[in-house]
Structure 1
């Protein structure tokens, strides 16, 4: 049996942060992953996706300016784009391994399962740890319907060698909406089935309405309140059987993508052998991200049932907190007060803080400033028809929440997050002198 001060299960951004920080503080540290090192974001999520989004942005920009000074056709060569994306992604595991080697982290490759409260098995190796961290991330939810094994998942989509003529997405979250916008601009006909009344249900309803309109304007066939109840193979196609309040329909498509959500990846870890309590949201942890039932275990990122959003920056922040608590004892609580998030559709949707509905439910006295900004200069100069905002502030003028859809919303939302953290008031933001013309210069007019 090999003994370590710290064993980290999972080499995504949370696990990577914890392993490197602990090793650099002199703790004997080991890490393992059942997949190549790097995690979901770097290898099969945010980073490769944003490369595809970058190509879609060029198409969108060219189409919007066609006849307004831009002429000539432009299109996505999917095979070349995949080659470019794969070249970027393929370098990550070796780079991560070099970092571990430099930090003195012992590396294992394989799935880990618990043998006792402080031991895990990785293949033929049995490891004992003073502290064990679960940072395994999340996996696509399994579709419990006839033919539920037939769709591909988000990882498969990011590795498609060819883009089919027609793609159907099941779900109405980040993955379905973002990938649908990419595929549509790459030349595929796209259909989305979502069983809820609106997609992106955790975002502000009014801002999402703008995205729904923009999605349908792109000729994406978006079906809401429609549940997929079965999938069948039909020669080189698939039949997707759906149920809505008024009817049951069957649709044909070339490819089905399961984008119905993700769940913590805790399968086959034998958590019960280690007295580790969990639920559908992940490992049950206390305010220090320590297991409620086994003090030798911590969890971070998508594998933890914490108060954080399932976002890469939040996983990194939780990783720093866990590392600090292992090194110095429980003293650092993760700070979830400002968690900006973005949906990389085109237009981009971004948010930080409370929605209007949450503000009403909080009982706080508040005011809302909301409008379309499609007639503002920054929309007109690039011929963007979708640009809107909603800013919620309290009676003292502090920002409670901001919601934006439009060009560079993902950058603008960071400025609002900083304003919330710095406790700037509406008057402070309004009276700032901004560089102009810039997207940031619109912020003063939004508050």
Structure 2
């Protein structure tokens, strides 16, 4: 069947549905396509269900930290993993149906299947050919291929969150935020955990002066983090796996072998654009992602793109929503709106949480004022029973502007939003000390962080 639409959306995740909701009241004829269940990665198999798991580990760990300090149970609490997975499913099991129903009720036609471009304005899905005045591509990401023997034995982060019984020994491949978040969850659930990372520095997109105490916190609870251990193969031996890494010294190259009951892929994700046949539409690729301009327009003026499959912006849910809103405005009103990535924060939901916004700089920077605080002995840290906390704020003294902020500690994901707001609204660093904060709380510490 051939159909004509004003707007065709490929992908029903945060970017795709945000654009759909923004244009739905325009009276235009709209279609949306997804090759999987509607809803996308974040609410179904990403950050939202992950945070449900993390919340249980945080609650359990909080109890255990306060044993003997006037709170907590008599003995250590542990996570009931099967019931936690069951609770997690209450957030995901009906989500897809609700999303698709809401799109249908807004008059948007929904399609299921792998979409690909026939030409610059036509998308094929199954036996249907859809022609669009505008097309918005928002297909997200997928796990990066490692191209090693035994790669098929690896468990994806999505599969990890569906595991009915957590095994005793887990190896995480890659030292990014996925591995660290899930390793902290798994460790609190009683598993032995090892993180294997190919290069010297883990969590490389975060400030190293905050990563260092997080590594100490990870080691303190029994998480083994081994940098410079690239995984070269995974083998199956009975019910277990042998994870082989390569190491090099000045004189020779050798291998290490780690025994695991589960091997989890945490080595990054890449844009999920394979199979779209973008070349048929004249859409250029840049470093494996869809190249877009500041209006979220691709090299084909009919085609816009947003979310993690694009070349611009960090791969974060708020960025996907931001880009979709910009694309929607430009499709409806002409290319006037631009994506502004100023002051967008991110967080790693470990214990303690690490959060970041803006640039980083060394403590001894000669270009900026860098305020580093070891907050491990501060009241807001000690009252929670945590041992590791820190902050770093980067300030341009000439303009009195905050250029970056990094926080490790309790409720860091909330406090970072104050810095993000100051940066996005162009307020001054000194304005942070003028605010009267609720006390005692993590945000009341901000006057001592700058």
Same fold per superposition (TM over 0.5): yes
1:188 alignment partner, one of 191, 201, 207: 191
Does structure 1 retain, via aligned residues, the 8 Å contact 2:357–2:404? yes
Structure 1 counterpart of 2:79, from 60, 76, 79: 76
Stretch deviating more after TM superposition (151-160 or 429-438) = 429-438
1:333 and 2:335 aligned: no
Within the alignment, does 1:405 sit opposite 2:423 as a pair? no
In 1, the alpha carbon distance for the partners of 2:430 and 2:131 equals 56
Q: Secondary structure at the match of 1:114?
A: strand
C-alpha displacement of 1:427: 2.4
1:158-186 Cα offsets, whole Å, 9 max, x none, are: 11111000000000111011000000001
1:124 alignment partner in structure 2 = 127
What is the alpha-carbon distance in structure 1 between the residues aligned to residue 99 and residue 10 of structure 2? 15
After TM superposition, give the deviation of residue 216 of structure 1 in Å: 1.0
Which moved further from structure 2: 430-439 or 156-165?
430-439
Distance 2:287 2:428 in 1: 39
Structure 2-normalised TM-score?
A: 0.96
Report what 1:296 is aligned to: 302
1:335-375 Cα deviation digits (max 9, x unpaired): 11111000111110000011115996xxx942011011111
Q: Is the partner of 1:368 in helix, strand or coil?
A: strand
Deviations 1:104-140 (A, max 9, x none): 1111111101111111111111111111111000000
1:16 equivalent to 2:22? Answer no
Q: Does 1:286 align with 2:283?
A: no
Judge which range, 198-207 or 71-80, deviates more: 71-80
Shift of residue 199, structure 1, vs aligned partner = 1.1
User: Secondary structure of 1:210's match?
Assistant: helix
Deviation at 1:434, TM superposition (A): 1.4
Question: Mean alpha-carbon deviation: is it higher for 388-397 or for 409-418?
Answer: 388-397
Could you tell me which of 265, 270, 275 is aligned with 2:272?
A: 265
Which secondary structure does the structure 1 equivalent of 2:370 belong to?
strand
Tell me how far 1:277 sits from its aligned partner.
1.2
- DSSP-derived class of the 2:54 partner: helix
Where does the alignment leave 5 or more consecutive residues of structure 2 unmatched? none
Deviation (angstroms), 1:67: 1.3
**Counterpart position of 1:442:** 445
Give 1:22 deviation, angstroms: 1.6
SS in 2 for 1:379: helix
- Contact conserved, 2:357 with 2:405, CA < 8 A, in 1? yes
Aligned equivalents of 1:245 and 1:337: distance in 2? Answer: 41
Select which of 363, 382, 385 maps to 2:384.
382
1:316 pairs with 2:318 = no
Whole-angstrom CA distance in 2 between matches of 1:245 and 1:66: 44
Instruction: State the Cα deviation string for residues 48-80 of structure 1 (Å, max 9, x = none).
Output: 000000000011101111111223232111110
The correspondence for 1:222, drawn from 215, 225, 244, is: 225
TM-aligned CA deviation for residue 23 of structure 1: 2.0
Residue range with higher mean Cα deviation, 275-284 or 47-56:
275-284
- Quick check: 1:143–1:149 contact (8 Å CA) kept in 2? no
SS at match of 1:305: coil
Return 5+ residue gaps in structure 1 as ranges. none
Q: Distance in 1 between matches of 2:188 and 2:113?
A: 38
Among candidates 380, 396, 400, match of residue 394 of structure 1:
396
Quote the residue 2:214 is aligned against: 211
Q: 1:91 aligns with which of 83, 94, 111?
A: 94
TM-score using structure 1 length: 0.96
Pick from 255, 267, 287 the counterpart of residue 262 of structure 2.
255
- 2:47 matched to which residue of 1? 46
Q: Distance in 2 between matches of 1:60 and 1:125?
A: 52
Query: CA RMSD, aligned part only?
Result: 1.4
C-alpha deviation, 1:423, in angstroms:
2.6
Q: What is the DSSP-based 3-state SS (H/G/I as helix, E as strand, rest coil) of the residue aligned with 2:151? A: coil
Partners of 2:282 and 2:429 lie apart in 1 by 49
Match of 2:4 in 1: 3
Q: Check conservation: 2:12, 2:40, Cα contact below 8 A.
A: yes
Specify the alignment match of 2:426 in structure 1.
423
CA positional deviation for 1:227: 0.4
Single out whichever of 128-137 and 22-31 deviates more from structure 2.
22-31
Partner SS for 2:259? strand
Query: C-alpha separation between the residues in 2 aligned to 1:388 and 1:183?
Result: 24
Query: Contact 1:59–1:185 at 8 Å: present in 2 too?
Result: yes
Is contact 1:57–1:346 with CA below 8 Å preserved after alignment?
yes
Write the distance in 1 (CA, Å) between the matches of 2:363 and 2:390: 19
Secondary structure class of the residue paired with 1:244? strand
User: Residues of 1 paired with 2:266 and 2:119: CA distance?
Assistant: 35
